[in-house]
Amino acid sequence: MNDKYETMDLDAKIYVAGHQGMVGSAILRKLKKAGYYNFVLRTSVELDLREQDAVQRFFEIEEPEYIFLAAARVGGIHANNTYRAEFIYDNLAIQNNVIHQSFKSGVRKLLFLGSSCIYPKYAQQPMKEEALLTGSLEPTNEPYAIAKIAGIKLCQAYHAQYGSNFISLMPTNLYGPNDNYDLENAHVLPALIRKIHEAKTKDERDVEIWGTGTVRREFLHVDDLADACLFLMNNYSKPGIINVGTGKDLSIYELALLLKSVIGYKGRLRFNPAKPDGTPRKLLDTTRINHMGWYPKIELWEGIQKVYAEYEKRHLQTH
For the annotated binding site for NADP(+), the residues are 18-24, 113-116, 148, 171-174, 187
Are 306 and 264 in contact, with CB atoms under 8 Å apart? Answer: no
Binding site, annotated residues for substrate: 195, 210, 217, 277
Neighbour-count burial of 109, counting CB atoms closer than 10 A to its CB (0-12 exposed, 13-18 middle, 19+ buried) = buried
Are 300 and 258 in contact, with CB atoms under 8 Å apart? Answer: yes
Cα dihedral 235, 237, 241, 247 in deg (nearest 10): -10
| Alpha-carbon gap, residue 77 to 252, rounded angstroms | 14
Mark whether 144 is an active-site residue: yes
| Alpha-carbon gap, residue 26 to 199, rounded angstroms | 30
Exactly one of 15, 144, 175, 265 is catalytic; name it: 144
Query: Cβ of 110: how many Cβ atoms within 10 Å?
Result: 25
**Distance between alpha carbon 18 and the CA centroid of its chain, in Å?**
11
Binding site, annotated residues: 18-24, 113-116, 148, 171-174, 187, 195, 210, 217, 277
* Residue 92 CA: distances (Å) to CA of 51, 76, 77, 209, 265: 11, 18, 19, 32, 41
Task: Supply the residues annotated as catalytic.
Answer: 144
